[in-house]
Structure 1
Amino acid sequence: MTGMIVTARHGRPNVDRSVKITAREYGFWWANYDKTGLAPDQEPPQSLIDIASEAEVVLCSTMPRAIETADAVTDGARIIPRDALFVEAPLPPPPFFPDFIRLTPTTWGVISRTFWFMGYAPKGTESHFRAQRRVRRIIKRLEQEVMAAEGDVLLCAHGYLNWMIHNVLTRKGWQLVEHKGGNDYWSHRAYRRKTKGRAEPVGKLATE
C-alpha cells in the first residue's frame, strides 16, 4: 500500500491586506509578499502537526512563507528540502487600470488571477499554460516520492498552486480523503490512490 499525498497552504504572511493601492503598486506589493515570512504568534493546527510527524517526506517551496510553515509544522525537527518547482503560480499586476482606481491587494489578486488565467503574462512571467505544465512535473515528483518512501508525503506550498495540483491529482486517479480549512492559511488536502474503483483505507485520518 502506498502512502498519501498531502498538500498544505502556508500560514498567514506578515503583510497588510487592508491598504488601498493602484494596479501598478500591486506589482510591488506582490513582490514584497513573495519575500515575506509568516506573521508572528501563529500556531499551526494540530491536525497538520500530526500529519507532518507521520509523513516520511516533507517538502516545501523556496518562498519564505512556505519554508517557515514547514519548519513550524515539524517544530524544526528535520531538514526539509526546498524546491522552486513548488512556488506559487505568478500574479502579475493587471493591465489597463488607471492610477485613480485604488483597491485592496485581495481584490487586485482576484482581478490579476482572472487576467492571468485568460492568458495575460508579461515578458518574464510564467503563463497559465506553463504553470499547468509545471504542475504535471510536480505531480510526477510527488508520486515518485510516495513510491520511494512507501509512506505519506507532505508538501507545504501555496493556495492557488495547491488547487491546480488538486485538479490534476483527482483526474489521475487520486481521491481526496480529507480537506480541512477550505483554502485558508494552514489548510490541507490529503489524497490516496484509488484501487479497483475505491480509495484505500485512510487509517487515522478517517477518525479525525
Structure 2
Amino acid sequence: MTGRIITARHGRPDLSRDVTITAREYGEWWARYDESGLHPDERPPESLIALARGAKTVLSSTLPRAIETAAKATGGAREVPADPIYVEAPLPAPPLPDFLKLKPGLWGVVSRAFWILGYAPAGVEHNRETWARVDEIAARLDALSQKGDVLLCAHGYLNWMIDRRLLREGWKRTEREGGNHYWSWRIYEPAGDKRAVGAEVAAE
C-alpha cells in the first residue's frame, strides 16, 4: 500500500534576524543563512521525531540547516541522503537602492515578490525553472512512497511549492503542525485511485 509523503521545514538557524540592512547587505546575509546550521538550542518536536521513526525513507536538502534537522529528527540513527534538488527556492536580493533598510524577514518578503514576478539575476534559478524542479521532486516523492512513508526535511517556500504540486496530483493534505514556522510539517495521503495503484505495485 502506498505510504504517506511528509514534508518538514528545518529548525531555527544560528543567525540573528535582529539587524537592519540594505538590499545588497541582505544578499550577503542570505548567503550566511545558507551556510549556517541550527542554533544550538534547537530541538525537534516529538511529533516530528515520531514521524521520522516511522518513515521508510528520510531525505534532506544539502544545506546545513536541513541536514542537521534530519539528523536531529532521526536522532542520528540512520543515514539520510542529501540532494541539492531539495534546496530552497532562490531568494535573490532585489535591485533596490541602499537608502532603504529593512530587517531580513521583510527583505525576504520583498525578495520573494521580485522573484515570483520574474526577477532572476544571471546564475539564479528562474521561477519557472524552480517549478520544473518541484515537478521532479513530487515525482520522486511519489515513487518513494510506494515503499512506505517518506519524510523530506527541506525549506519553507519550497515545501509550499511541493504542497501545490502534490495537491494537483491528487494527494490529500491530512495533517499539519506549526503552520510554516521552523520545525513545521505536513502529511499527505494518496487519494483512492492513487492508493489502489500503490497496492498493485507492492503486489508485483
Runs of 4 or more consecutive aligned structure 1 residues displaced over 4 Å after TM superposition: none
Alignment of 1:59-208 (within 5 A): 59-95=59-95, 97-147=96-146, 149=147, 151-195=148-192
Post-superposition Cα deviations, 1:144-184, rounded to whole Å, max 9, x if no partner, equal 1111x2x1000000000000000010010000010100000
* C-alpha displacement of 1:125: 0.1
Alpha-carbon separation, structure 1, partners of 2:31 and 2:178: 26
Structure 1 residues 118, 10: closer, same or farther in 2, change over 3 A? same
* C-alpha displacement of 1:196: 5.2
SS of the counterpart of 1:155? strand
Alpha-carbon separation, structure 2, partners of 1:197 and 1:152: 14
SS of the counterpart of 1:122? coil
In structure 2, what is the equivalent of residue 206 of structure 1? none
Structure 2: runs of 5 or more not aligned: 196-204
**Aligned Cα root-mean-square deviation (Å):** 1.4
Letter in 2 for 1:66: A
* C-alpha displacement of 1:55: 0.2
Query: How many residues in Structure 1 have an aligned counterpart in Structure 2?
Result: 196
SS of the counterpart of 2:79? coil
In structure 1, what is the equivalent of residue 199 of structure 2? none
Letter in 2 for 1:131: T
- TM-score normalised by structure 2 residue count: 0.94
Letter in 2 for 1:27: G
Structure 1: runs of 5 or more not aligned: 199-208
- TM-score normalised by structure 1 residue count: 0.92
Alpha-carbon separation, structure 2, partners of 1:94 and 1:119: 11
* C-alpha displacement of 1:197: 9.9
Alpha-carbon separation, structure 2, partners of 1:174 and 1:80: 24
Letter in 1 for 2:126: S
Letter in 1 for 2:56: E
Post-superposition Cα deviations, 1:28-54, rounded to whole Å, max 9, x if no partner, equal 000110000000111100000000000
In structure 1, what is the equivalent of residue 40 of structure 2? 40
Please say if 1:55 is aligned against 2:55: yes
SS of the counterpart of 2:43? coil
SS of the counterpart of 2:94? coil
Alpha-carbon separation, structure 2, partners of 1:100 and 1:2: 54
Alpha-carbon separation, structure 2, partners of 1:72 and 1:132: 29
SS of the counterpart of 1:183? coil
